A and B are shown apart, each in its own frame.
Chain A
Amino acid sequence: QKEVEQDPGPLSVPEGAIVSLNCTYSNSAFQYFMWYRQYSRKGPELLMYTYSSGNKEDGRFTAQVDKSSKYISLFIRDSQPSDSATYLCAFIIQGAQKLVFGQGTRLTINP
């Protein structure tokens, strides 16, 4: 079983739609949960960072963590063409400093 499972997509939705991106994980030692956005030919940039179960909102983005089910989600409301990118879930084991990434989901928002 892979440590992190993320649907690679591609996912294509119309502008204004709500987007749901998901990852499952198997390592119970993961304590910090992140979403990175990566535009083509750029490095990943941090979007959301949380360490507890529940929801965290930042503008049009909501990160959701369910530790009991080992499942994290990123929701994008009122999606814009500028949201077109690859979205990577990432995890850190408490006490360690390295990121474990999912495969990434390629998202396209069509005008």
Chain B
Amino acid sequence: EAGVAQSPRYKIIEKRQSVAFWCNPISGHATLYWYQQILGQGPKLLIQFQNNGVVDDSQLPKDRFSAERLKGVDSTLKIQPAKLEDSAVYLCASRLPPGGAQFFGPGTRLTVL
């Protein structure tokens, strides 16, 4: 079974630029999550999708972050404009409800200069 795929793996941008990350979950997994992991911290949930609907985006900084999940499969997370404090690893995870563990992708490491 293929795992969660993410791209790009690394991205370096300057502050105020825009960036987008892509995630392809495990086939058949209806629930998809985006997490932000700052160096030395645990992952923090940004947004959760159930199929293509948003379940929880309470910790998403909506003034600069947006995410979508078209057709309930792939998802993109966008930051516009980026700030220095957005430097982090962005992890995508998927899950097959009900119950079941979340499976994580390798993450995209973002550096904002």
Contact = CB atoms under 8 A, between A and B. Distances in A.
Most chain B CB within a 10 A radius of its CB, from A4, A43, A99, A102: A43
B4 interface: yes
Interface of B: 4, 31, 33, 40-45, 48, 55-56, 91, 93, 95, 97, 101-107, 109
A28 to B, nearest CB: 20
B33 A98 contact: yes
Nearest to B6: A43
B42 A97 contact: no
Contact of A43 (B40, B45, B97, B105): B105
B42 A45 contact: no
A40 B55 CA distance: 30
A62 B89 CA distance: 29
Contact of A103 (B33, B42, B45): B42
Contacts, number: 50
A33 B112 CA distance: 34
Tell me what chain B mostly uses at the interface: helix, strand, loop, or mixed: strand
Given A43-B104, A45-B104, A46-B101, A98 B43 contact: no
B102 A46 contact: yes
Contacts of B91: 43-44
A101 B106 contact: no
A88 B35 CA distance: 14
Interface of A: 4, 6, 8, 34, 41-46, 49, 88, 90, 97-99, 101-104
Contacts of A88: 42-43
Most chain A C-beta atoms within 10 Å of own C-beta, residue among B43, B45, B55: B43
A99 B104 contact: no
B43 A97 contact: no
B55 A97 contact: yes
A40 to B, nearest CB: 11
A92 to B, nearest CB: 9
Given A4-B42, A98-B33, 9 more contacts: A8-B40, A34-B101, A43-B4, A44-B43, A44-B104, A88-B42, A88-B43, A97-B97, A98-B45
